Amino acid sequence: MIMKRILLYISTIVLAASCSGTVDPDNQGQGDVPDEFTEPFTLSVDKAQVEASGKDIVTFSLKDAYGREMLEDKSTLQSVNITSEEGVRVTRMERAIGFISNGTYHFSAKYKGKASANTVEVTAQNRAKYEKYHKNVAIYKATATWCGPCAIMTKALEGLNEDTKSHSVELCWHGQDELAVTPGGWDYDYGSFVISYFGGQGFPTVVLDLKETTIENTSSALDKAIWNIRSEYPASCGLKLSTEYDAAAKVINASAELTSSTGGSYDMGMVLLLNNQIVQGGTNEDGRYSHIVRASTGNFFMYSSESLTKVDKDGKMTFELQIPAGNYKLSDLSVVAFALVPDGDGARMDNIVEVKAGESVDYILND
């Protein structure tokens, strides 16, 4: 009897020892930690207030229920999206962001579609210290209604974040289709010329501020490219534009003015755009096309040496034009005014504005 009790006692000890395992002093009471990141996910930032200079960087951290950092490994980063309620998003595969617009932004994160349990607030301020006037980037798109990849590019541009959209003007230069325009005396239509002049590889080609040519066709990549242009080349001038429609003559009388915040040499021009056109058989999802260039001054790709004008700091320059409106509906037309500056051997778009025909826009100052 005694012997049985001893054997039973010994076997119990062995069994208990085999089940105990090794105790992790840093994980006591949590049980086994799963390989997969576990909700809730907590988002944080290293600073809540930054200068809107583009160079004052905010870095994000995302931790799971076990306190594990989720943004250090690239394989995890590709499954994370960090976006703000205001439409600003962190570039895919990145965990840091700078700001070039004032505002208070509320960010949240998603990992494989699962949302963070919280939002974080970041305030960007003092943009006027770095750029006096609101800047728009010119998005030149060489496109065609028959082109399948062009429809993908259209969707990508429609998906730009709201901050990017509010700082850009899109101009669609059609080629080899029913919306193409060939200026008098030219061998090329606008779209084919843009591709050739800016070194594109075919339709579609996107050119930003006459500086960067790209075939990137995702919203996030285009957001980043436009952000880089805005950050590297802040506007040195502001633009205002007024337009009046003369119904009897069927012309738009347009008057643009620039004020330079730095001083420099400028050339000004204008473009007439047509919107809301349906093309049967067009590759766009709904067959609708907008931002279509119908007419332009000849300096849309390069400044004219004859009209290049030196403007002092806080000085002004004006440009006026009568634009035939044809038989288009006035509500479908808009007018663009732009200011070019010399840049190396070429030109760069310093600023650009767009208004509906018959309307006006005043200078927009940064805070």
How many angstroms separate the CA atoms of 100 and 166, rounded? 12
Cβ count near 310 (within 10 Å): 11
Cα 35 from Cα 187, distance rounded (Å): 63
Q: For residue 347, what are its two tokens?
A: 């030109």
Structure tokens at 93: 């595969």
Segment 157-199, tens digit of pLDDT: 999 999 999 999 999 999 999 999 999 999 999 999 999 999 9
Domain ranges within the chain, ordered by starting residue: 42-128, 137-361
**Secondary structure string (H, E, C) spanning 9-41:** HHHHHHHHHHHHCCCCCCCCCCCCCCCCCCCCC
Same fold for the pair 42-128 and 137-361:
yes
Interacting residues of 91 by C-beta distance below 8 A, sequence separation 6+: 97, 220, 223, 224
At position 124, the amino acid (one-letter code) is A
298-322 pLDDT, tens digit each = 999 999 999 999 999 999 999 999 9
Q: What is the pTM of this model?
A: 0.87
What pLDDT score was predicted for residue 80? 98
Name the nearest CA neighbour of 63 among 109, 123, 113, 122.
Answer: 109
Q: Does 4 score more than 50 pLDDT?
A: no
Cα 37 to Cα 63: distance, rounded to the nearest angstrom: 9
CATH code of the domain occupying 137-361: 2.60.40.10
Complete DSSP assignment for 240-305: EEEEEEETTTTEEEEEEEEEESS-EEEEEEEEEEE--EE-TT-SSTTSEE-SEEEEE-TTSSS--T
**Does the domain at residues 42-128 carry the CATH identifier 2.60.40.1930?**
yes
- The per-residue pLDDT for 98 is 97
Residue 61, SS3? Answer: strand
